Amino acid sequence: MFKKILIANRGEIACRVIWACRELGIKTVAVHSEADRDSLHVRFADEAICIGPAPSPKSYLNIPQIISAAEITNVDAIHPGYGFLSENAHFAEVCRECNITFIGPSPNAIRMMGDKSEAKRTMKAAGVPVTPGSDGLIEYEEEAVKEAERIGYPVLIKATAGGGGRGMRIANNRQELTSAYQTARAEAEVAFKNSGVYIEKYIANPRHIEVQVLGDNYGNVIHMGERECSVQRRHQKLIEESPSPAVSYELRQEMGRVAVEACKRIGYSNAGTIEFLMDEDGSFYFMEMNTRIQVEHPVTELVTVSDLVAAQIRIAAGEKLTESQDELMFVGHAIECRINAEDPVTFTPSPGRITSLNLPTGPGVRVDTAIYNGYFVPPHYDSLIAKVIVHSRTRERAIARMRRALEAMVVEGIKTTIPMHLKILNDPDFQSGNISTRFMERFMS
Ligand code: MV4
From residue 319, give the alpha-carbon distance in Å to each of 98, 267, 306, 311, 327.
21, 16, 16, 9, 18
Question: 309, 230, 305: which is closest to 270 by C-alpha?
Answer: 309
If you take atom 19 of ligand 1, which residue's CA is the nearest one? 437
Percentage of residues in the chain having pLDDT higher than 90: 98
Residue among 207, 217, 385 nearest 280 (CA): 207
Look at residue 165 and tell me whether its pLDDT is greater than 80: no
Does ligand 1 lie within 6 Å of residue 232's CB atom?
yes
- Residue 211 beta carbon below 6 angstroms from any ligand 1 atom: no
241 vs 299: CA distance, rounded Å: 6
Q: Is the pLDDT of residue 394 over 80?
A: yes
User: How far apart are the CA of 228 and the centre of ligand 1, in A?
Assistant: 14
- Report the separation in Å between the CA atom of 165 and the middle of ligand 1, taken as the mean of its atom positions: 6
Helical pair 249-266 and 116-125, crossing angle rounded to 10 deg: 110
The hierarchical CATH code for the domain 4-103 is 3.40.50.20
Residue 276's region, left for phi above 0, alpha for psi from -120 to 50, else beta, is beta
Which sequence spans correspond to the domains of the chain? Answer: 4-103, 132-201, 207-444
Confidence grade of residue 212 (pLDDT, cut at 50, 70, 90): very high
* 206 in contact with ligand 1, CB cutoff 6 A: yes
User: For 217-238, what is the mean pLDDT?
Assistant: 97
The one-letter amino acid code at 288 reads: E
Distances (CA, A) of 5 to 82, 274, 277: 16, 27, 36
- Whether 140 and 182 have beta carbons less than 8 Å apart is answered as no
Q: Is the peptide bond before 154 cis (omega within 30 degrees of 0)?
A: yes
Q: What is the pLDDT of residue 30?
A: 98
On the question of a common fold for 4-103 and 207-444, the answer reads no
- Cβ of 131 closer than 6 Å to ligand 1, yes or no, is yes
Residue from 287, 288, 290 whose mutation best tests the ligand 1 pocket (most atoms within 8 A of CB)? 287
Q: Given pLDDT bands bounded at 50, 70 and 90, which one contains residue 305?
A: very high
Task: Give yes or no for residue 342 CB within 6 A of ligand 1.
Answer: no
DSSP output for 273-331: EEEEEE-TTS-EEEEEEE-S--TTHHHHHHHHT--HHHHHHHHHTTPPPS--TTT----
- CB of 200 shorter than 6 A to ligand 1: yes
Cβ–ligand 1 distance for 379 under 6 Å, the answer no
Nearest residue (by CA) to ligand 1, atom 17, is 165
Over residues 418-435, the pLDDT tens digits come to: 999 999 999 999 999 999
Indicate the top mutation candidate among 115, 151, 203, 289 to test ligand 1's pocket, ranked by most ligand atoms within 8 A of CB. Answer: 203
| Closest to 213 (Cα-Cα) out of 102, 110, 290, 103 | 290
**pLDDT above 80 (res 373):** yes
Alpha helices in 25-161 (DSSP H): 40-44, 63-73, 89-97, 107-114, 116-125, 141-151
Residue 147 has a pLDDT of: 97
Q: Name the DSSP letter for residue 257.
A: H
pLDDT at residue 117 tops 90: yes
Q: State residue 445's pLDDT score.
A: 82
> What is the tens place of the pLDDT at every residue in 36-85?
999 999 999 999 999 999 999 999 999 999 999 999 999 999 999 999 99
Q: How sure is the predictor about 167, in pLDDT bands with cuts at 50, 70 and 90?
A: confident
What value does the mean pLDDT of the chain take? 97
Q: Which atom from ligand 1 is nearest to the alpha carbon of 201?
A: 15
The closest-lying atom of ligand 1 relative to the alpha carbon of residue 230 is 22
Domain 132-201 = CATH 1.10.10.10: no
Q: What does the pLDDT average to over 325-336?
A: 98
Check pocket membership of 134 for ligand 1, CB cut-off 6 A: no
pLDDT of residue 327: 97
Ligand 1 atom 14: residue of nearest CA: 202
Q: How far apart are CA 24 and CA 27, in angstroms?
A: 9
**pLDDT value of residue 19:** 98
Class of residue 289 by CB neighbours under 10 A (exposed 0-12, middle 13-18, buried 19+): buried
CA of 270 to the centre of ligand 1 (A): 25
pLDDT at residue 166 tops 90: no
Known active-site residue 292: yes
DSSP state, residue 333? E
pLDDT the model gives residue 199: 97
CB 228 within 8 A of CB 189: no
Give yes or no for residue 208 CB within 6 A of ligand 1: yes
Atom of ligand 1 nearest to the CA of 203: 4
Superfamily for domain range 207-444: ATP-grasp fold, B domain (3.30.470.20)
Indicate which residue of 10, 169, 252, 292 is catalytic: 292
Q: Is the pLDDT of residue 444 over 90?
A: no
Q: Is 15 a residue whose pLDDT tops 90?
A: yes
Helix (H, G, I), strand (E, B) or coil at 186: helix
pTM of the model: 0.97
The confidence score (pLDDT) of residue 164 equals 72
